[in-house]
Amino acid sequence: MMNNEKPKVHFTDDSLIYPTNPVSVNLIGAGGTGSKVLTALMEMNHSLIELGHPGLQVRLWDDDTVTEANIGRQRFADCEVGLPKAVALINRANRWSGTHWKAEVSRFERDAFGRIHEPMQSTLYISCVDNVKSRFEIAEILDELKQDRRSYRNNVKYWLDAGVRHESRI
């Protein structure tokens, strides 16, 4: 008798399928890709809630401000020029969807003393940064967070790197 069943290659953690609280997501970068990913997360959150899932809790990290060059190619309006990108996008998301998502007007990095702070702890990470150095810094932080075995509800499960530029400078 021949077994025609394909082997499973990936298992999704039950805490993501059947959560009791919204799934925490750290979105890193609010530029061209990050602003569009945030819109997709808003749509996914809405669908998840409609299906009886608790949805998502997103924290957007970016230390940049909106400039005239961002209009049109990124999800910003003329009236947002000069505002922190993370604040402009999160305020819009919260108004549209009634969420209480958070904006971090800073880079996703250790503080001056080399510490990782609690808001950096999450279940899902999506990085939308445009340089290799930042990706390596994110990877180091996530490796350290994975090794931290304290009983966090938000322990690292997935990291999706959606960066757009592959610079040779590190």
- Helix, strand, coil % over all residues of the chain, rounded to 5: 35, 15, 50
Q: How far is CA 13 from the centre of its chain?
A: 18
Query: Would you state the pLDDT for residue 167?
Result: 54
Q: Would you say domain 22-161 falls under CATH 3.40.50.720?
A: yes
Query: Would you state the pLDDT for residue 151?
Result: 52
Structure tokens at 74: 């990124």
User: From first to last of its 170 residues, what are the pLDDT tens digits of the chain?
Assistant: 677 787 777 778 888 888 899 999 999 999 999 999 999 999 999 999 999 999 999 999 999 999 999 998 888 999 999 999 999 999 999 999 999 999 999 999 999 998 898 889 999 999 999 888 999 999 999 999 888 766 556 688 899 999 766 554 44
Handedness of CA 126, 131, 134, 136 (dihedral sign): positive
3-class SS of residue 42: helix
d(CA 49, CA 161): 25
Structure tokens at 35: 């602003």
Structure tokens at 109: 């990095």
Query: Would you state the pLDDT for residue 169?
Result: 46
